[in-house]
Amino acid sequence: MRTVEWDYANNRLRLIDQRLLPNEFKNLSYQDYHEVAKAIRDMVVRGAPAIGATAAFGMALAARQSRARDVETLSHDLKNAAEVLKNARPTAVNLSWAVDRMLNVALGHSGSPEIMRDAVLQAAQQLADEDVRINQEMALFGASLIDDGDTVIHHCNTGALATVDWGTALGVIRMAHEQGKRIHVLVDETRPRLQGSRLTAWELEQYGIDYEIITDNAAGYFLRSGQVQKVLFGADRVAANGDVVNKIGTYMLALAAHANKVPVYPVVPLSTIDLATPDGEGIPIEERPPDEVLNLETNGMPVVPAGARARNPAFDITPHHLVTAIVTEVGIIYPPFKRNIRRAVEQVMK
């Protein structure tokens, strides 16, 4: 079952509600692109590739919601929908990339509004199918970096739940496991929303991969004591120079790994690379509501004093010099990143 999927029988978008896992598995259906934007913002769906596919299908819904009887009016309505969807979460470049791809498909059609509507849905489905194929290609390249017996620290959730299916960094682990390699995964909790302990651990259970959950601040101990051979994570955006913007805590993890000479591998589709942004400083960092930090409880009791305040950046920037190599669907990109990333992207664009 895919994380993001079009229900052709009812012309609806179906999403797995990731807020409820691991305690409850539930699908939600959407017919309104405004609700799709809200689902992205509220993290019903999360993970850069999954957000991109969701937004693409959101554009297909917008085309169907529009009552336009001519191409010009429908194009106007789709441009408005594109802005709503793009503003749902600003950091992940896959979102704007997917929306713009659907908009270009729509504006490139000169036929009837119905032809345009069908074209956008077909393009969204193609994007979703491509995501699965790309993930499997990345997984094959990335699995070559994993040795039999490795212990890997994995940050956040990058599995099938973060994509349409299969996964990025967790997809690499899954592929290595299916190749018969014995792998142990240290799953950091990934506070404050606990995507590691809630979602990654749940996925590893499904695959039968050996794992243990650790607190985010325990990673340095395991790295320094020589108990970890690789560090893997995904990315929400990669700048042209190889700076990686990913879930908050990635920078500290990469720092500790670099200090202890443990390889660091982001696993990202080329759609996550933003050549228009020279470095990580130019990428907007989403700051989410402080309640995500302040409302945490232990044994049913609040963990902070009443009246406490909090800061809650959702992402951080890992400078490229802390990255060993970047795994993509066209191969493994090594430094110098500024030159080799551009070559990889241009190779696909030819």
- Give counts: helices (H), strands (E), the chain: 12, 16
CA distance 314 to 91: 9
Exactly one of 236, 243, 274, 316 is catalytic; name it. 236
**Phi and psi for 17 in degrees, rounded to 5?**
-80, 100
Six-digit token pair at 252? 């500290």
SS3 category, 331: strand
Query: Which residues does 113 contact at the CB level (< 8 Å), separation at least 6?
Result: 66, 68, 69, 70, 71, 74
Six-digit token pair at 240? 């042209």
CA distance 26 to 249: 28
**Phi and psi for 135 in degrees, rounded to 5?**
-60, -40
CA distance 259 to 319: 14
Q: Beta 151-154 vs 184-188: how paired, if at all?
A: parallel
210 among known catalytic residues: no
CA distance 223 to 217: 11
Query: Which residues does 104 contact at the CB level (< 8 Å), separation at least 6?
Result: none
In the beta sheet, which residues pair with residue 244?
A: 238, 318
3-state helix/strand/coil string of 133-160: HHHHHHHHHHHCCCCCCCEEEECCCCEH
Q: Catalytic site residues?
A: 236
